[in-house]
Amino acid sequence: MTTTLTPFEASRYFRDHAPGAARSGMRGYVLRLLVDMARLRGRDAGMCFPSVSYLAEKVGRSVRHVRRLLAELETLGEIQRIPQRRADGGYSSNLYRLRGLLSWAAKNVRGASDKGSRKTPYGKNPNPARGGQSDSGKAQAAPARAPLPSAPSARAGRAENSLAGVLSDPVASPVKWRALSPAQVEEARSGCDPVQWERLRLSAGLDGVASVDLDAAAAHRWRAGAIMRGVQLVA
């Protein structure tokens, strides 16, 4: 079964189900970064491959310190480090498999093939509209075909259908963050310590923001507070 997660489910695992030892101290910051960067669906769900230097830059610690934190997370069973080799034989960034997240998801999150399906105590509920048989075993009678409308009524029906899209309520479009320049996002990141920045990202993830928009959402939240404090911001 293919694992399919949402950013909210990944955040819920880290907040409510990850072991306390894995969430404490700097280990928690590193684990949170790996959860944020992990793929959420498909065969690579629960996988990410950041470099150690990138993680060290994000948490504000040395490369040696981050390597020790990764080893501790692996000992706790939260991650599995998988070495990767380049075509020339050298080593590339490790592949990290989030074992704790995947184990929790296998027991608590429905897979892509299960979502939207309904089951009875005796198995999957058949849907006669899709070719299945009803519980009574009786064939579904085909509905009587309506008589073809005359030309004037057909034109009236087409006119009514064309107005339906105008008069009906518009479909709500997904919320999109106003684009920030890289300088504005970097200004917000540099204005926070690593703990505050990850808290802003975590808060955005719990509000349902997609993982690709977490930096922009965190920057928006920081800029809102900075404006209230009277800080001069990058335009």
- Over residues 171-184, the pLDDT tens digits come to 444 445 567 888 88
Domain boundaries, the chain: 7-108, 182-228
First to last CA, the chain: 48
pLDDT band at 125 (very low <50, low <70, confident <90, very high): low
Alpha-carbon span 72 to 62, nearest angstrom: 16
Query: Averaged over 75-91, what is the pLDDT?
Result: 87
CATH of domain 7-108: 1.10.10.10
Q: What share of the chain is helix, strand, coil (3-state, %, to 5)?
A: 50, 10, 40
Distance CA 168, CA 162 (A): 11
Confidence of residue 170 (pLDDT cuts 50, 70, 90): very low
Q: Where are the alpha helices (DSSP H) in the chain?
A: 7-12, 20-23, 25-37, 52-59, 63-75, 99-108, 151-167, 182-190, 194-206, 214-228
Q: Rounded CA gap, 124 and 190, in Å?
A: 53
pLDDT band at 163 (very low <50, low <70, confident <90, very high): very low
What's the pTM?
0.48
| Nearest one of 7, 4, 47 to 210, comparing CA atoms | 7
Distance of alpha carbon 72 from alpha carbon 171, whole angstroms: 48
For residues 199-218, give the mean pLDDT: 80
Interior/surface letters 113-123, b for 16+ CB within 10 angstroms, e for the rest: eeeeeeeeeee
Element spanning 85, H or E = strand 80-85
Whether the Cβ atoms of residue 34 and residue 23 lie closer than 8 Å to each other:
no
